Structure 1
């Protein structure tokens, strides 16, 4: 793969306020990269600078090896899809999709062929004569995508395009966007604060926090091997148990973390650099119930929440801290029961506190 898009030392300040620390980011040709993070993390600022809608304070942007930092947005060869759809209400669906092509002075035949192909791609070929007000939210989003895809940009930016949709329609559109990405072969940069959406869609996820990149990697990298406490808590459901290493753990004896009133085993591959405090990440699905005193630690069941495909169990540990376990429907945990908890130490992650 070759680099399609690069941000090199790209940063943005508004007076004393830092919207994005100087940042390096490389997106490969044909990749689906998602910028994920909470509000104020810098993800939208980064996307807007790539699009040319916001001027950077420092650094530069390259597309296919060409410096486009000061190139007008319309001349960067980029397509953009907004959360608001931004459809022209006085134009038909067909004319909305044709608008960008006409602005690029394409011939009438080229416009007709490209619009028909784009509408077919999003499965809206029969809606060309309708107006935006006659469409549902999901249909309007499809038209916004078709308008972007019609002129076949090599880089497509999507700024929380599914944020206004209900859960079921959102999940359907996620599948559609993933299909369209494969069909087009274009480079997608997608912004969302929804972690499930990021994990579902992406080849790689760029997790952002406090105006900088926290971690970047595949969805499984971020879920299974978070590099920081923030990454561990933001991605997926997390149990974070704080403690200290048992004497001799760093020197090579059996690695043990003293946490939650118990001695908890650690994977030998864990980063056991000396530190006064560490955090053990336990994913709820990694936990298994056994008889009391037969696991690594005991917990008392405080609450049981049914989620359809599985059940989430809230437990209190010996030191009063809480923990969540996920179990199948074949188990019938009862509030008030004392249970033992066990897990594969290699399904845990040790982080510095």
Structure 2
């Protein structure tokens, strides 16, 4: 698959402040790539340099192999959707969607066909004559998307477009954006700080931290095989068990980690260094509750929280550390119960950074 968009050594400084370290990133044709990270990680800066709204201090941006680093935003063939919607309050929905096409001097027939098609795509045809103040937040977001989609850009940048919506509406709009991405076949670059949103929408996620890229991979890669401690902690809920290797190995020759007051077998493929302390990532859905002293570690149930689809159990381990487990609703754990925990070692990840 060929690259649609490439950032090559792109960097941004404001005086002595580094907004983005020199960065390389390739986005494939038709891909949905999400820039994910906390505030100040550099994700919005990178998006703004791709769009042309911010000039880089170093490096270059290429689209379809063409250097567009110094090309003005309106001539890059890029569509942009903002969190603020940026609709014109004095224009009808139809005219808001038509605005960009008119600025590109499309014919009246081309404008009419493109606007009607874009409104149908976001299921807002019946609202064409209304004004933004007459629309809900979700409807305004649909119009902002339609305005961007109307002239069919091959690259669409979305800067936290769902940030102002409530949880239920956000989830609905996520499904709509996934549908629209498939229909358009365009390359999407999406900025968010919401990990659930990134996992839901993305073909790949570019996780950013402290003005640089931490890890790039599929949602499953980042969730199941985080490369660093930061990645493990930022994506999903993490149980991080710290300990040292035992001098002896398990019955099957597997390395044993002494952590959380127990003896924890590691995958045979785990790369271990005997002299080092190690950190093991155990996701909450991996362990199962067993009888005390029949698992890898033992603990006491400190709290039980009902989440609808499952139950979250907070455990105080024998060494004083804490660990969270997701249980099926059919189980009835009680605060104060002594339990053991066991899991498949291959559902864990040994972190090295």
What are the ranges of 5 or more consecutive residues in structure 2 without an aligned counterpart?
none
1:331 aligns with 331
**Distance in 2 between the 1:313 and 1:183 partners?**
42
* Alignment TM-score, normalising by the size of structure 2: 0.98
1:177 aligns with 177
1:303 aligns with 303
* Alignment TM-score, normalising by the size of structure 1: 0.98
Q: Secondary structure at the match of 1:285?
A: coil
2:152 aligns with 152
What are the ranges of 5 or more consecutive residues in structure 1 without an aligned counterpart?
none
Matched ranges for 1:56-71 at <5 A: 56-71=56-71
Q: Secondary structure at the match of 2:329?
A: coil
Would the alpha carbon gap of residues 275 and 179 (structure 1) be closer, same or farther in structure 2, given more than 3 Å must change? farther
Q: Kindly indicate whether the alpha-carbon contact (under 8 Å) linking 1:263 and 1:296 is maintained by their aligned counterparts in 2.
A: yes
**Distance in 1 between the 2:341 and 2:248 partners?**
25
Matched ranges for 1:263-278 at <5 A: 263-278=263-278
Once the 2 structures are TM-superposed, how far is the Cα of residue 276 of structure 1 from its aligned partner? 1.9
| Runs of 4+ off more than 3 Å | none
1:135 aligns with 135
The alignment covers a number of residue pairs equal to 351
Q: Kindly indicate whether the alpha-carbon contact (under 8 Å) linking 1:275 and 1:352 is maintained by their aligned counterparts in 2.
A: no
> Which has the higher mean CA deviation after the structures are superposed, 264-273 or 80-89?
264-273
1:72-120 deviations in Å (ceiling 9; x for gaps): 0000000000000000001100000000000000000000000000000
Q: Kindly indicate whether the alpha-carbon contact (under 8 Å) linking 1:155 and 1:186 is maintained by their aligned counterparts in 2.
A: yes
For the aligned residue pairs, the C-alpha RMSD in angstroms reads 1.0
Q: Kindly indicate whether the alpha-carbon contact (under 8 Å) linking 1:81 and 1:161 is maintained by their aligned counterparts in 2.
A: yes
1:28 aligns with 28
1:42-82 deviations in Å (ceiling 9; x for gaps): 00000000000000001000000000000000000000000
1:96 aligns with 96
1:7-52 deviations in Å (ceiling 9; x for gaps): 0000001111110000000000000000000000000000000000
**Distance in 2 between the 1:31 and 1:326 partners?**
33
Q: Kindly indicate whether the alpha-carbon contact (under 8 Å) linking 1:118 and 1:147 is maintained by their aligned counterparts in 2.
A: yes
1:183-216 deviations in Å (ceiling 9; x for gaps): 0000000000000000000000000001000000
2:73 aligned with 1:78: no
Q: Secondary structure at the match of 2:88?
A: coil
2:121 aligns with 121
Q: Secondary structure at the match of 2:157?
A: strand
